[in-house]
Amino acid sequence: MVENQTQTAQQPSQAAESISAIDLKGVSKSFGPVQANKDINLTVKRNSIHGIVGENGAGKSTLMSILYGFYTADAGEIFVHGAKVKIKDSSHALDLGIGMVHQHFMLVENFTVLENVILGAEGDHLLASSKAAAREELTRLANDYGLDVDPDAIIEDLSVGQEQRVEILKALYRGADVLILDEPTGVLTPTEADQLFRILEQLRDEGKTIILITHKLREIMAITDTVSVMRRGTMVGTVATKDTSPDQLAEMMVGRRVLLQVEKTESKPGDKVLEVENLSVTDDIGVPRVKNVSLDVRAGEIVGIAGVAGNGQSQLLEAISGMFPPLLGEVRINGKKIEFSGAGVADEVRRMGLAHVPEDRHKMGLVTTFEEWENSMLGYEDDPKFGDGPILSVSNARADAQKRIEMFDIRPQNPRLKTANFSGGNQQKIVLAREMDRDLDILIVGQPTRGVDIGAIEFIHKQIIELRDQGKAVLLVSVELDEVRALSDRVLVMFDGEIVTELPPTASEKEFGLAMAGLDPAQQ
């Protein structure tokens, strides 16, 4: 019903200018056999916040990379403020007034804010003069847009939210008046996200144009004026935000009705399967990451750990799964203590009935250069079913992979295909199929749906709930608060390496927000 529907977006507030900030006409781009963008038309009005939503692989990032000069389009035209341009590279894009804030910040950690801002735009051979000019400009920008950051602070001392402001300042300093933000809230607490939105609104009111790429429908509804939906490389439609709803957007993104709510019954917790007692972890360079954490997970329940990324969740998962020895404390599975000594602890922990879906499938969960069937046995290669003794039975391993492919509906259904050629959602399914289809007692799972499209999210959530209903224990870590709340039976909030509090999943967003910022809501 929403197919190809293109409504004229409602003109936001004051500036009723006829020329749009960005106009893309018939833009196409393909990588080898994959067409990432197909005949895209997009009009971004001046002085508006324009959201672009779409599943992973829908082509959002590719489109923005074309606009920012990282890629050259195979076909199509680009107009910036009405003038036809051919964007050669990112510095050309900057000259045209297009700035980008990347998902992963591109800052020099041990430089000051000021030094980062002038980086690449030093202007003079001697730094002092450009620094002085930049300082003045920064003060002006800070006053105009409410972007307060100490110009002399070192980047690594800043919070993630502040680092993001530096990125925005960087773009503004170079004279950007069209600002592209790629998934800007992924690393922010709800409070920081709100602050960011206020800044974005202010920027819009001061005459800037914002393009916001996100997959979070709530943010789209909260802040954008207009929203464009992409699916499989095509532009499905552009609608005024006030005329649409999250359900409609989700339908446009996926092409069918989607259950945004997770359906689950009351949990029936059984015996303690995982017990973590006074666990402390320091990382390689001696920084304490996990501080005296104790928790239990019982059979038949999902315990969620909420928190902003980088508050010790990764280290907690690594310690429990035997990948990294903790400094202090004890971890027991089914009452049996994990011995953290020597090599191959992770292997031993697996044998004790723990399955681990790691947070980062590219870095850890998969060897993307391997064929699918090889990843389908990663970590379990010593299992006798993959061959006797030292010999690897390739035929058995491939048959096993084929079975998992069918069970988890991994596409394409080809165990001989290189893993890098699967989409994000299917790669995640490869990991899940490997870890979940086992004789396991506890599943620990980190960011189960990061970079996964909505259709696959639905499937993955269903699998996790099903596992719980079979009486298995699940420990879930996710930075997506919505996901933690939707799946978990109990939620622990982690901040700065500590479990700050336990909340029921029904607790309000404000309570979670406070806890994720390190404040115990009970004491407020």
Partner 1 sequence: MSGARQPLPSWALNVLMPAMNVLLALFVGGLAVALIGENPIEAMRVLAYGAFGSGYGLGFTLHYATSLTFTGLAVAVAYHSGLFNIGGEGQAYVAGLGAIMMALWLDQTHWVFVLVGSIVGAMTLGALWAAIPGYLQAKRGSHIVITTIMFNFIASAFMSYMLAQVITNPGANAETRTIAETGRIPLLSEYFEFFKHSPVNIMLIFGILALIGVYILLWRTKLGFKIRTLGQNPEAARYAGISAVSIIVIAMAISGALAGMMAVNEAVSVQKRLVVGYVQGFGFIGIAVAFMGRAHPVGIVLAAILFGALYQGGVELAFVMPAVPSELVLVIQALVILFSGAMDEMFKPVLERVFGAFRSKPRTDDSTATEEA
CA atoms within 13 A on the CB side of 323: 17
Closest approach, Cβ 392 to partner 1, in A, equals 5
- Residue 32's contacts (CB-CB under 8 Å, 6 or more residues apart) are none
User: Would you tell me how many other CB atoms lie within 10 Å of the CB of residue 345?
Assistant: 18
Residue with tokens 């939906």: 229
Angle at 315 (CA atoms; ends 106, 364), nearest 5 degrees: 70
**Given the complex with partner 1, which of 167 and 318 has the nearer CB atom?**
318
The β-bridge partners of 293 are: 279
Q: Which of 19, 119, 394, 407 binds partner 1 (CB under 8 A)?
A: 394
Q: Which of 2, 10, 38, 519 binds partner 1 (CB under 8 A)?
A: 38
34 lines the binding site for partner 1 (CB under 8 A): yes
Measure the CA–CA gap between 475 and 435, rounded to whole angstroms.
13
* Size of interface with partner 1, in residues (CB under 8 A): 63
* Strand order from edge to edge, sheet including 34-44: 34-44, 22-31, 75-80, 83-85
In angstroms, the Cα distances linking 306 to 222, 356, 414, 479 are: 22, 18, 36, 6
144 lines the binding site for partner 1 (CB under 8 A): no
Label residues 173-189 b or e (16+ Cβ within 10 Å = b): bbebbbbbbbbbbbbbb
**Given the complex with partner 1, which of 355 and 491 has the nearer CB atom?**
355
Closest approach, Cβ 217 to partner 1, in A, equals 19
- Parallel, antiparallel or unpaired: strands 22-31 and 34-44: antiparallel
**Given the complex with partner 1, which of 161 and 325 has the nearer CB atom?**
325
77 lines the binding site for partner 1 (CB under 8 A): no
**Given the complex with partner 1, which of 301 and 318 has the nearer CB atom?**
318
CB 464 within 8 A of CB 431: no
CB 206 within 8 A of CB 145: yes
Helix (H) or strand (E) holding 93: helix 90-95
432 lines the binding site for partner 1 (CB under 8 A): no
In angstroms, the Cα distances linking 197 to 118, 223, 224, 452, 479 are: 25, 7, 10, 24, 19
**Given the complex with partner 1, which of 103 and 129 has the nearer CB atom?**
103
Measure the CA–CA gap between 39 and 25, rounded to whole angstroms.
7
- Parallel, antiparallel or unpaired: strands 22-31 and 75-80: antiparallel
Q: Which of 97, 151, 233, 415 binds partner 1 (CB under 8 A)?
A: 233
User: Tokens representing 4?
Assistant: 């190809």
Q: Which of 10, 11, 25, 30 binds partner 1 (CB under 8 A)?
A: 30
197 lines the binding site for partner 1 (CB under 8 A): no
User: Would you tell me how many other CB atoms lie within 10 Å of the CB of residue 245?
Assistant: 11
Closest approach, Cβ 85 to partner 1, in A, equals 16
Q: Which of 207, 270, 310, 412 binds partner 1 (CB under 8 A)?
A: 412
Closest approach, Cβ 72 to partner 1, in A, equals 5
315 lines the binding site for partner 1 (CB under 8 A): no
Q: Which of 271, 347, 502, 509 binds partner 1 (CB under 8 A)?
A: 347
User: Comparing C-alpha atoms, which of 11, 109, 55 is closest to residue 254?
Assistant: 55
358 lines the binding site for partner 1 (CB under 8 A): yes
79 lines the binding site for partner 1 (CB under 8 A): no
Closest approach, Cβ 140 to partner 1, in A, equals 34
Closest approach, Cβ 321 to partner 1, in A, equals 8
487 lines the binding site for partner 1 (CB under 8 A): no
Q: Which of 21, 22, 24, 36 binds partner 1 (CB under 8 A)?
A: 36
User: Comparing C-alpha atoms, which of 370, 315, 319 is closest to residue 346?
Assistant: 319
349 lines the binding site for partner 1 (CB under 8 A): yes
**Which one of the spans 17-25, 274-282, 416-424, 475-483 is the region binding partner 1 (CB under 8 A)?**
416-424
Helix 190-205 / helix 509-516 crossing angle, nearest 10 deg: 100
**Which one of the spans 122-130, 183-191, 274-282, 355-363 is the region binding partner 1 (CB under 8 A)?**
355-363
Q: Which of 174, 350, 398, 404 binds partner 1 (CB under 8 A)?
A: 350
33 lines the binding site for partner 1 (CB under 8 A): yes
Residue list 87-116, contact with partner 1 (CB under 8 A): none
Closest approach, Cβ 499 to partner 1, in A, equals 24
364 lines the binding site for partner 1 (CB under 8 A): yes
Measure the CA–CA gap between 253 and 452, rounded to whole angstroms.
13
User: Tokens representing 112?
Assistant: 């000051």
172 lines the binding site for partner 1 (CB under 8 A): no
Residue with tokens 């925005």: 168
* Residue ranges binding partner 1 (CB under 8 A): 29-30, 32-36, 38, 56-62, 65, 70-74, 232-233, 321-323, 343-350, 356, 358, 363-370, 374, 378-379, 381-382, 386-387, 390-392, 394, 411-412, 420-424, 426
